[in-house]
Structure formats: C-alpha cells, structure tokens
C-alpha cells in the first residue's frame, strides 16, 4: 500500500511540475493545483496509513494522528483561495496583453510576413 501511495504522489508531482513549465497560463494553473494535491497527500501519508484506528481520541485502542488531517484541511482551504487568485491574475494578464503566454509575448511564427519563411 505504501508503494502505491508513494508512486501516486510521484506521478502527480511529476505531472504538476511538467505543467508548471509550460508556456501558457492555464497549464500553469493546473500544474500548481496538481502540485498542491500531491503535497496534501504527502502530508496526509506522513501521519501513517492507519487501519482500524479511531479518528477521535479515546481511552483505549489505537488512535490515528489528527495533526496531518488538520494540516491537510487547512492546506485545502488555502490552496483553493490561492488557485482562485492565480486564475484571476491569469485572466487579468490575458485581458491586458491579448495573449495567454506567461511572459506576455507570443512566439514568432515562421509563416507570417515577419517570419523567416518564404514570402
């Protein structure tokens, strides 16, 4: 089970980093979200994967650690707010620059009159 969770975290992290390195704003927003999800699952898994343990403190038996659960819940709320803010910044940038490239410049085309293609 631990290998499956670790592999899932690795795949989601790698996909998030790949999307962060793209040149358009929407993949960057998706990459940030995926990276946030991977970090949340990592924090949750650091509290150990418990089976048959009570989530609330009791006087007898095994008890799951509530701290990772509280951290992940807080991170979900902060991640949602941050994603909304980044989407608003991307929309504002698109409106002001008429392009969705993260640097605000459209790459030069080789087909047009200003390109290096034939006239």
DSSP 3-state assignment of 54?
strand
pTM of the predicted model, to two decimals?
0.72
The whole-angstrom separation of Cα 117 and Cα 65 is 63
- Domain 2-49+64-97: top CATH class: mainly alpha
1-57 per-position pLDDT tens digit: 789 989 999 999 999 999 999 888 889 889 999 999 999 999 888 877 667 776 666
The whole-angstrom separation of Cα 29 and Cα 38 is 14
C-alpha of 46 from chain center: 19
């Amino acid at each position: 089970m631990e290998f499956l969770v670790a592999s899932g975290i690795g795949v989601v992290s790698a996909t998030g980093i790949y999307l962060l390195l793209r040149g358009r704003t929407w993949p960057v927003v998706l990459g940030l979200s995926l990276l946030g999800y991977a970090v949340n699952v990592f924090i949750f898994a650091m509290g150990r994967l418990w089976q048959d343990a009570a989530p609330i403190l009791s006087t007898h038996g095994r008890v799951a650690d509530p701290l990772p659960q509280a951290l992940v819940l807080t991170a979900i709320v902060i991640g949602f707010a941050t994603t909304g803010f980044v989407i608003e910044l991307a929309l504002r940038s698109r409106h002001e620059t008429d392009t969705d490239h993260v640097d605000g410049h459209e790459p030069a085309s080789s087909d047009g009159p200003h390109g290096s293609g034939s006239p």
